[in-house]
């Protein structure tokens, strides 16, 4: 079914065409009619499924013409707020509707100017929005559509009380759209509080690892992790590497040590200023930095194309984050490699991840690395393995895999 058949307004359809979309994605097909019909919705879908357009297109159609602040979209991070606001702006380019992004880490001046000009759609992170609610510069009296996006992330970040306060400030008579990759009981509780008779739309939670990504576990003792990371970087022919750390502090520490080892490194996590984050991302995209060290929250939803390698310095806390992290590489059919450093304490996490993706991740060891005893005993050297059991050949310079040239 083409977009035309979905009853979007002509101006919004022109915006869709200009964005270059031809066919709706599954979540768009299923969510757009519900949103156009005015109903509440719980969508289980992750970033990358076309979720933003699934709510933005019908919302813009429902709004029609410029008026008051009628739509509030809550996002967990500044990057997502900026990204989603840009999408709204693009789709609305043939309408007179106005959008603004409200997030912390930048000055208030520009945001205030835009607010004064009058907006229809506010895309905000909870913290900064509350600042404006306190000063009375924004009120939510006229909200008719409330979107809670990436709710699981929002709750992980401790935003529950603020989010509840914001919801309570919106009129009771409203349409509420709720998106969360997973809907466990605590999230269901928020949904019950915020939504009325919602329609559930679930699009296949992405459990599968892109076939063009070759992934492997690298068992190592905890106190040898950094050394192994360095050795992997030295032995791998990479264009750009995204290194994931569980904590902000850990990310800073890894970055410091990599810099000391003469790598050009960017860092992305929630404690960095907006300008620092923009610079880090732009520098990583342009090739100024060959390595970016990031936490999950900062990296979520960010579209960095062409990452040749992902290295999980720390095993992700949630199995779905594994898929999410390694989905940063191998995008758009490009080939990518993903390495995960695992210590004996991570055995349970790895079991959960393998269960989640429904596959075993091959274990490898880096030839020539001075492993402590336990690793040498538990893992076969990669070159002795039948490659039939690997999803693909992991390329390292020299050693066990013959280097097949730069991409």
Tell me the closest approach of the beta carbon of residue 22 to ligand AMP, in angstroms. 6
Q: 49, 203 in Cβ contact below 8 A?
A: yes
Tell me the closest approach of the beta carbon of residue 83 to ligand AMP, in angstroms. 7
Tell me the closest approach of the beta carbon of residue 159 to ligand AMP, in angstroms. 20
Tell me the closest approach of the beta carbon of residue 245 to ligand AMP, in angstroms. 23
d(CA 102, CA 88): 14
Indicate the residue among 268 and 302 with the shorter CB distance to ligand AMP. 302
Instruction: Indicate the Cα dihedral angle 284, 287, 288, 289, nearest 10°.
Output: 50
Indicate the residue among 61 and 401 with the shorter CB distance to ligand AMP. 61
Residues of the shown chain interacting with ligand AMP in the complex, contacts defined by CB under 6 A: 21, 23-25, 28, 47-53
Residue 200 Ramachandran class (φ > 0 left, ψ -120 to 50 alpha, else beta): beta
Closest CA to 232 of 372, 361, 338: 338
Indicate the residue among 24 and 198 with the shorter CB distance to ligand AMP. 24
What are the helix (H) ranges across 319-395?
Answer: 319-326, 347-357, 373-378
Indicate the residue among 261 and 305 with the shorter CB distance to ligand AMP. 305
Classified as helix, coil or strand, 229 is helix
Indicate the residue among 15 and 362 with the shorter CB distance to ligand AMP. 15
Tell me the closest approach of the beta carbon of residue 294 to ligand AMP, in angstroms. 17
d(CA 68, CA 342): 52
Tell me the closest approach of the beta carbon of residue 393 to ligand AMP, in angstroms. 30
Q: 181, 320 in Cβ contact below 8 A?
A: yes
Indicate the residue among 51 and 272 with the shorter CB distance to ligand AMP. 51
């Amino acid at each position: 079914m083409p977009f035309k058949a979905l009853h979007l307004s002509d101006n919004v359809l022109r915006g869709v065409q200009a964005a270059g979309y031809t066919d709706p994605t599954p979540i768009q097909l299923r969510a757009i009619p519900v949103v156009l019909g005015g109903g509440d919705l719980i969508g289980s879908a992750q970033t990358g499924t076309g979720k933003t357009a699934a709510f933005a297109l019908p919302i813009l159609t429902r709004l029609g013409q410029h008026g008051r602040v009628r739509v509030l979209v809550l996002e967990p991070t500044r990057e997502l707020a900026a990204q989603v606001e840009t999408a709204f702006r693009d789709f609305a380019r043939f309408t007179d509707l106005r959008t603004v992004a409200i997030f912390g880490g930048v000055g208030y001046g520009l945001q205030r100017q835009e607010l004064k000009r009058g907006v229809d759609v506010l895309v905000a992170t909870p913290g900064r929005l509350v600042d404006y609610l306190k000063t009375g510069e924004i009120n939510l009296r006229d909200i008719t559509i409330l979107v809670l996006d990436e709710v699981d992330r929002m709750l992980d970040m401790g935003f529950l009380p603020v989010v509840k306060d914001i919801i309570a400030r919106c009129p009771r008579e409203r349409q509420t759209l709720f998106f969360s990759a997973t809907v466990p009981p605590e999230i269901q509780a928020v949904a019950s509080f915020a939504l009325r008779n919602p329609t559930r739309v679930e699009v296949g939670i992405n459990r599968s690892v892109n076939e063009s990504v070759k992934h492997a576990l690298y068992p190592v003792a905890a106190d040898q992790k950094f050394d192994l990371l360095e050795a992997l970087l030295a032995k791998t022919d990479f264009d750009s590497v995204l290194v994931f750390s569980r904590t902000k502090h850990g990310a800073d520490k890894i970055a410091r040590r990599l810099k000391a080892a003469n790598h050009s490194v960017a860092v992305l996590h929630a404690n960095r200023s907006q300008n620092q984050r923009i610079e880090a991302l732009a520098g990583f995209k342009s090739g100024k930095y060959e390595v970016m060290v990031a936490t999950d929250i900062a990296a979520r939803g960010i579209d960095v194309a062409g990452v040749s390698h992902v290295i999980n310095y720390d095993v992700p806390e949630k199995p779905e984050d594994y898929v999410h992290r390694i989905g940063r590489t191998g995008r758009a059919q490009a080939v990518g490699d993903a390495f995960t450093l695992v210590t004996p304490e991570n055995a349970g996490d790895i079991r959960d991840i393998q269960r989640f993706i429904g596959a075993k991740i091959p274990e490898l060891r880096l030839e020539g690395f001075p492993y402590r005893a336990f690793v040498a005993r538990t893992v076969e050297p990669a070159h002795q393995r039948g490659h039939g059991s690997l999803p693909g050949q992991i390329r390292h310079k020299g050693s066990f895999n013959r280097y097949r040239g730069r991409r």
